[in-house]
A and B are shown apart, each in its own frame.
Chain A
Amino acid sequence: MSTIEQLNAAFVSALDIDEKQISDELAYNSIEEWDSTAHMILIAELEDQFDIMLDTDDIIDMSSVAKAKEILQKYDISF
């Protein structure tokens, strides 16, 4: 699986949304499915997919799909 496929898989599974809904602009709290509880599930999915442990500051900053990509690059994951 490519990293973008892994990222999408994490979003689909955590937010329970269709892959078509995922775009760089998709933002935290902009859809009903991406609420605070789903955010923590998303973090767990991302940590599992990429085998990393995110810093709390990065979890707080992860406000959109674009931002998630930017943050994950700090953990040597490129898209």
Chain B
Amino acid sequence: MISASKPIEGSSEPRVPLEQAAILITGAAGGIGRACVIACVKQGWHVFAAMRNKQEGQERLREALQSSGLNNVAQSADLLTLLEYDVSDSKQVKAAFAQIKKSPYELVGLVNNAGLMKDSLLGMTSLDDFDMQMLVNVRASFLHLQLASRLMTKNKQGSIVNVSSVIGLDGAPGQVAYSASKAALLGMTKSAAKELAPLNIRVNAVAPGFINTQLTHDYSAAKRASVINNIAVGREGQPEDVAATIMHLLSAQSAYITGQTIRIDGMMSI
């Protein structure tokens, strides 16, 4: 075990002025990703919105920004930078970080949100599907965590949020591979939080429950009803419910919270 040491004095004060502060969000064109982009822009942070397909993603993001009354954001280089890369390609990820480093902004936040879910029973899960979920959900998040924390070390300010899942905490039939990948994120969160705390970089995870996005779009009406039946608050979650907690974790309001996993699930039982 390598121990971390030397805490930074007065560590809860943001060091980077708001106008220079930037947040990187992966999977930014997805449901939860778009809600995070909107919330971060409203907060006044510059957003690096990472997506696999810029043409498609940009359009989805523009529509979402417009329906939130943020009409000019998509065109404003001061507010938003679109990054196009596949999170599973480490070369592309490193190139994206080089672009962030060269920009006039300082990275103060990362939302490791890009994710892949492939439902299948244990006996019917191919190793390729297992590897793919580990690659996108775990390995890519690890690389982002590693590179982001290096940029954040310079300013000794940062907050990283890993988007896990209640499935990573509780497990579910048909989701052995997905739950393994999301549980791995929780271990990563706790260890990184301990290691990076002396550098004033916080690492937390959120564990969303059943959220209305593309990821759950294919659920049949019957399956949807049965899931909602097991949610105490009686409804599915919205991407904004998740973004609100992520915002809290990114902001200085949560300066004394690190290494935690917060469920955002309306008290769901699986």
Contact = CB atoms under 8 A, between A and B. Distances in A.
Interface of A: 35-38, 40-41, 43-45, 47-48, 53, 56
B5 A40 contact: no
Main SS of the interface on chain A? helix
B6 A37 contact: yes
B234 to A, nearest CB: 47
Contact of B101 (A37, A43, A53): A53
Interface stretch (B19-27, B124-132, B146-154, B217-225): B146-154
Contact of A47 (B5, B6, B94, B150): B150
A45 B5 contact: no
5 contacts: A37-B4, A41-B153, A47-B101, A53-B94, A56-B146
B150 A41 contact: no
A36 B194 CA distance: 13
Contact of B150 (A35, A38, A44): A44
Contacts of B98: 53
B153 A40 contact: yes
Interface string B1-17: 01111100000000000
Interface range, B side? 10 to 19
Interface in B144-167: 146, 149-151, 153-154
Contacts of A43: 150, 153
Contacts of B6: 35, 37-38
B94 A48 contact: no
B97 A53 contact: yes
B199 interface: yes
B160 to A, nearest CB: 15
Interface string B191-228: 00000001100000000000000000000000000000
A53 B101 CA distance: 9
B153 A35 contact: no
A38 B3 CA distance: 11
A37 B5 contact: yes
Given A37-B198, A53-B94, A53-B98, A45 B154 contact: yes
Nearest to A43: B150
Contacts of A38: 6
Nearest to A39: B2
Contacts of B149: 40
A74 B103 CA distance: 24
Contacts of A44: 150-151, 153-154
A43 B146 CA distance: 12
A48 B154 contact: yes
Contacts of A53: 94, 97-98, 101
